Amino acid sequence: MNLFNNTGILYIVPTPIGNLSDITYRALKTLQEVDIIACENIQHTNILLKHFNIKNILISFNKNNEIEQSSYLIKKLKKGKTIALVSNAGTPVINDPGYLLIKQCHIFNIKIVPLPGPCAAITALSASGISSDRFCYEGFLPSKKKTRCDLLYSLRKEKRTMIFYESKYRIIDTITDIINEIGKNRHIVIAREITKKWEMIYSNKAEIILSWIKEDQNRYNKGENVVIIDGYQEPKKVNISENIKNTFSILRSVLSLKQSVLLTSKIHKMNKNNLYKYAIKKEEK
Ligand code: SAM
């Protein structure tokens, strides 16, 4: 059985996210050899091709014409043509057009060949110093404040590392919203202008990042950003022994909650915050 019906091939070709030297040999060879390059912006891709001395046919493929152009490209692929899909920067489809075309290739048994290459999210994650064992990619946060805050709030207990894309226009608002909805002490990383001249990777608690970024307008009014948020970590459970609980109960029968916590923690030489949490829970019952 011929799995691919002898059709053409759709190559998914990542392109640099800033530094043209990040193009791969295979990407160049593919861009040179395919019949058509479908690109987000013809002018933009022309600059890339010119730099590498490649001449080929370019057709526009962007979020405004994706549906019509997908049908057109599928017809070409069915006739045996080879097509390279590129976006302005990075890996096509990752917050860039292409998913509808690829879905149709699967439906029509058209062979898809993805090339590995630059992607801002993964490059930033690799340098973040935040665990990458489990992560989720959230793309761009909503532009409306309320929707953005609601989404961040819904992610406050997400245990996986979270990756977002953010523009220079909203980076301060986004960090402020992270502080309000997730917490000022949550560890975050801002990766700006990766692979470019003003590349900067800054890692700290959200509130410290906010004051740092506000200090100098060059830190927020230029460039592209990836924001990485450390996943939620369950607070460590502290076991309160029966002995401590008894002391607390006796003191509480004659003293205020605050005084009982303070005295019990002194008697047993323990952290008063942990005891306070226990006391609050007990009072609520
Ligand atoms: N497909 C691309 C990829 O694979 O990364 C992403 C395209 S998305 C439309 C553009 C966003 O990616 C930017 O707004 C920014 O958040 C992020 N980005 C792209 N290049 C970047 C860079 N050099 N440094 C930091 N972030 C970048």
Residue nearest to atom 20 of ligand 1 (CA): 17
Going from the Cα of 115 to the center of ligand 1, the distance in angstroms, rounded, reads 18
CATH number of the domain within which 152 lies: 3.30.950.10
Q: How far apart are CA 117 and CA 124, in angstroms?
A: 14
Question: Do 93 and 145 belong together in one domain?
Answer: no
Name the residue of 138, 165, 220, 227 whose CB sits within 8 Å of the most ligand 1 atoms, as the mutation to test its pocket.
165
Rg (CA), the chain: 27
Question: Do 65 and 49 belong together in one domain?
Answer: yes
Going from the Cα of 84 to the center of ligand 1, the distance in angstroms, rounded, reads 20
Using the predicted structure, report yes or no on whether residue 243 has a pLDDT greater than 50. yes
CATH number of the domain within which 32 lies: 3.40.1010.10
Question: Do 25 and 100 belong together in one domain?
Answer: yes
Instruction: Write down the pLDDT at residue 237.
Output: 79
For residue 119, what are the contacts with CB-CB under 8 A and spacing of at least 6?
14, 17, 90, 91, 94
Ligand 1 pocket residues where CB is under 6 Å: 17-18, 87, 89-91, 94-96, 119-121, 165-167, 191-196, 224-226
**Ligand 1 atom closest to residue 122's alpha carbon, by position in its atom list:** 5
Instruction: Write down the pLDDT at residue 176.
Output: 97
How many domains does the chain divide into? 3
110, part of any domain: yes
Among 118, 149, 179, identify where a domain stops.
118
What value does the mean pLDDT take over residues 203-213? 96
Mean pLDDT, the chain, whole residue set:
94
Instruction: Write down the pLDDT at residue 219.
Output: 77
147, part of any domain: yes
Among 118, 143, 163, identify where a domain stops.
118
**Ligand 1 atom closest to residue 93's alpha carbon, by position in its atom list:** 1
Using the predicted structure, report yes or no on whether residue 246 has a pLDDT greater than 80. yes
% the chain with pLDDT above 90: 85
- State whether residue 231 is helix, strand or coil: coil
Question: Do 193 and 206 belong together in one domain?
Answer: yes
Split at pLDDT 50, 70, 90, the class of 271 is confident
1, part of any domain: no
With 0-12 / 13-18 / 19 or more C-beta atoms within 10 angstroms meaning exposed / middle / buried, residue 101 is buried
Question: Do 129 and 175 belong together in one domain?
Answer: yes
Going from the Cα of 59 to the center of ligand 1, the distance in angstroms, rounded, reads 22
Do residues 244 and 268 make contact, with C-beta atoms less than 8 angstroms apart? yes
Question: Do 24 and 108 belong together in one domain?
Answer: yes
Among 202, 229, 256, identify where a domain stops.
229
Question: Do 41 and 113 belong together in one domain?
Answer: yes
Question: Do 156 and 198 belong together in one domain?
Answer: yes
Using the predicted structure, report yes or no on whether residue 97 has a pLDDT greater than 90. yes
Split at pLDDT 50, 70, 90, the class of 222 is confident
Going from the Cα of 194 to the center of ligand 1, the distance in angstroms, rounded, reads 9
Other beta carbons within 10 Å of 41: 15
Question: Do 145 and 221 belong together in one domain?
Answer: yes
- Tell which phi-psi region holds residue 254, choosing left (phi > 0), alpha (psi between -120 and 50) or beta: alpha
- Model confidence pLDDT, tens digit, residues 157-205: 999 999 999 998 899 999 999 999 999 999 999 999 999 999 999 999 9
What value does the mean pLDDT take over residues 264-272? 90
Residue nearest to atom 13 of ligand 1 (CA): 224
What value does the mean pLDDT take over residues 232-238? 86
Using the predicted structure, report yes or no on whether residue 2 has a pLDDT greater than 60. no
- State whether residue 123 is helix, strand or coil: helix
Split at pLDDT 50, 70, 90, the class of 1 is very low
Question: Do 125 and 224 belong together in one domain?
Answer: yes
2, part of any domain: no
Split at pLDDT 50, 70, 90, the class of 277 is confident
Q: Which domain covers residue 260, as residue numbers?
A: 242-284
**Ligand 1 atom closest to residue 118's alpha carbon, by position in its atom list:** 4
Do residues 15 and 48 make contact, with C-beta atoms less than 8 angstroms apart? yes
21, part of any domain: yes
What value does the mean pLDDT take over residues 45-69? 97
Going from the Cα of 224 to the center of ligand 1, the distance in angstroms, rounded, reads 6
Instruction: Write down the pLDDT at residue 3.
Output: 64
Question: Do 51 and 76 belong together in one domain?
Answer: yes
Instruction: Write down the pLDDT at residue 4.
Output: 65
